[in-house]
Structure 1
Amino acid sequence: MGTISLEHSNRLYWLGRYTERFFTTLKALGDLYDKMLDTQHGYTDYLGCFGLADTYADNAAFLRSFLFDNANSNSAVYSLERAYDNGIVLREEISTTSLSFLQMAKDTLEKAQNSTNIRLSLLPLEDILYAFWGCINEHIYDDEIRNIIYIGKTVERLDLYMRMKYPYPIVEKEFIRLLKNLNRVPRSTPFRYQTKPLSDLVEILGTEADYDRESKRAISSLSRLFEAGEVSV
C-alpha cells in the first residue's frame, strides 16, 4: 500500500486520540466515584488538572455532564462521538468490525444515561474498548496506518497522565512507548513529528526531578509535537 494522504493521517491520529481520551476519562470518573460518595464537590481536583472552573451544582450534575453531555468538549460522550466520526471516514482502513465496537460503545453509553445504576451499566465499556483495539491489531495490515493510530493513542494517554499528575514511572513508560511508535512510522509519511518539541520532551522526561520541576513545559511540548490540526468531520 502506498503512503496515505495527510488528511487520512490526521484522521487516524485523532481516532487514536479520541478513543484513548474516552477510555481514560471513563477510568478517571470511575476512580472519582467512591470519593464523591463521601465528599461534596469531590471532583474539584479533577477539574483543576485541566484548568476548568466548577460550575456544577453537585456531584451528580458533574457526573452527568462529564459522561453524557455532548456539548461539553471534556466529556466522555464528546470524545466517543468524535472517535466514531473519524472511524466512519476511515472504515476501509480500520475495518467495519473495528468500527462496530465504537458503535457498540455508543449504544452502551446511551443506555447507561437512563439506567438506575449508571456505574454498573458502564462496566461493559472497558471490554468493548479492549475489543476495539484488538480488532485494530487484527484487521489492519498496513503498519503505517496502525502506527499512526497508536501514536495518537499514546500522545493522548501521555498528555492526560501528565495533566492528572500520574507518578513519574508511569509517565516514563508511556513516553518510551510513544518513542517506539514514532520510530515505526515510515520516513515517507506526510505525518511527521516536530523535532524540537520531541527533543524538549526527551530532556524533561529524562529524570523524575526534571519531570516534577517542568511538567507544564512537558505538556506544552507534547501539544506542539504535531503541527497539523484536527480535520473537521
Structure 2
Amino acid sequence: MILIPPQAAEHLYWMGRYIQRSESMTRLVIALFDKILDEDFDDAKAFYAKLGIELAYDSAQMFLRESVFNLEYASLCNTINAARENAILTRSHLSNRMFSRINALYLAYQEAKEERTVSLYWLESTLKELDAIWGNLELSLVEAKESPLIQLGKVVERMDLNIRLYDSIEAALMDVEKLNSIAEKVRPNHKRVTLSSSNKPKTLQTINSVFEALTTKHES
C-alpha cells in the first residue's frame, strides 16, 4: 500500500472523483443546453428525473443557471466546492500549482454565482480549466505517490457515471484494465476487478468498493 495516511488517501481519492464529476457533468450540461435549444425542450427534465432530481426551467438560460448554481446537491458549483474541500484537506500533498488551479476554478464559480450570470462560453472555459488540471496532474504533485489515488478516483467516477447517466456498462467495461492498472500501483497484490456486462447494481457495487478494498485489506 502507498504510504499515505488513510484520511489523506481518502480525500485524494474523492478529490479525483469530484474533479471528474465536475468534468463529466459540465459536458452533460453543455449537451443538454444544446438539446433544449435545438431538439427537445424537456430533455433535461427527463434526464435529471432519472437521477431522482426534479429540475424546473422555462428557458435554456434558466436551465443553465439551475444546473450550474441551484440544484441542492447536484449543481456544478457544489461539485467544484467538494473538490476544493478535499484539496484543502490534502493541501500538504499537493503542489502550489495544482491547489491554485482547483482554488481558482472554485473562485470563478463563486464570482459567477454572486453575479447570477452564466453563459455557454463561460462554461466551456471552465471545462478547459478542468482539462488542464488533469493534464498537469503528474507535474503538479509533490510526490508521485499521490497520483494513483487521484487517478483511481477519476476512473471510478467515470465508470460510475457512464452507468448511472447513460446505462452504459459497455463504456465502463472499457475502463476495467485502466482501473486494475491504477489499483496495482496503490496495492501491488490487488485482486483484479472483473465486471458483469448484464448486472448493473452488482457492477456499480464492485466499482465503488475498489478503494475501500485497497485501503482496508491487510497483507497476508
Q: Settle same-fold status: TM greater than 0.5.
A: yes
2:137 corresponds to which residue?
136
Unpaired stretches in structure 2, ≥5 consecutive residues: 214-220
Distance across 1 between alignment mates of 2:53 and 2:80:
23
2:200 corresponds to which residue?
215
2:158 corresponds to which residue?
157
Pick closer, same or farther for the CA change 1:186–1:203 going to 2, 3 Å.
closer
TM-score, length basis structure 2: 0.82
Following TM superposition, by how much is the alpha carbon of 1:22 offset from its aligned partner in structure 2, in angstroms? 0.8
Letter in 1 for 2:102: L
| SS of residue matched to 1:123 | helix
Q: Is the 8 A contact 1:109 1:122 kept in 2?
A: no
Matched, 1:224 2:209: yes
Matched, 1:91 2:91: yes
Distance across 2 between alignment mates of 1:166 and 1:74:
19
State, as a whole percentage, how many aligned pairs show the same letter: 22
Pick closer, same or farther for the CA change 1:98–1:141 going to 2, 3 Å.
closer
Following TM superposition, by how much is the alpha carbon of 1:170 offset from its aligned partner in structure 2, in angstroms? 3.3
Following TM superposition, by how much is the alpha carbon of 1:159 offset from its aligned partner in structure 2, in angstroms? 0.4
Following TM superposition, by how much is the alpha carbon of 1:64 offset from its aligned partner in structure 2, in angstroms? 2.2
Distance across 2 between alignment mates of 1:112 and 1:152:
27
Count matched residues. Answer: 209
Pick closer, same or farther for the CA change 1:111–1:13 going to 2, 3 Å.
same
Residues 1-233 of structure 1 mapped to structure 2, 5 A cutoff: 3-38=3-38, 39-50=40-51, 52-59=52-59, 60-69=61-70, 72-113=72-113, 114=115, 118-140=119-141, 142-165=143-166, 167=168, 170-187=171-188, 199=193, 202-204=194-196, 211=197, 213-227=198-212
Following TM superposition, by how much is the alpha carbon of 1:165 offset from its aligned partner in structure 2, in angstroms? 2.0
| SS of residue matched to 2:210 | coil
Q: Is the 8 A contact 1:143 1:185 kept in 2?
A: no
Distance across 1 between alignment mates of 2:13 and 2:149:
5
Q: Is the 8 A contact 1:105 1:128 kept in 2?
A: yes
| SS of residue matched to 1:43 | helix
Q: Which aligned runs of 4 or more in structure 1 are off by greater than 6 angstroms?
A: none
CA RMSD of aligned residues (A): 2.7
| SS of residue matched to 1:17 | helix
Unpaired stretches in structure 1, ≥5 consecutive residues: 205-210, 229-233
Q: Is the 8 A contact 1:147 1:184 kept in 2?
A: yes
Letter in 2 for 1:89: L
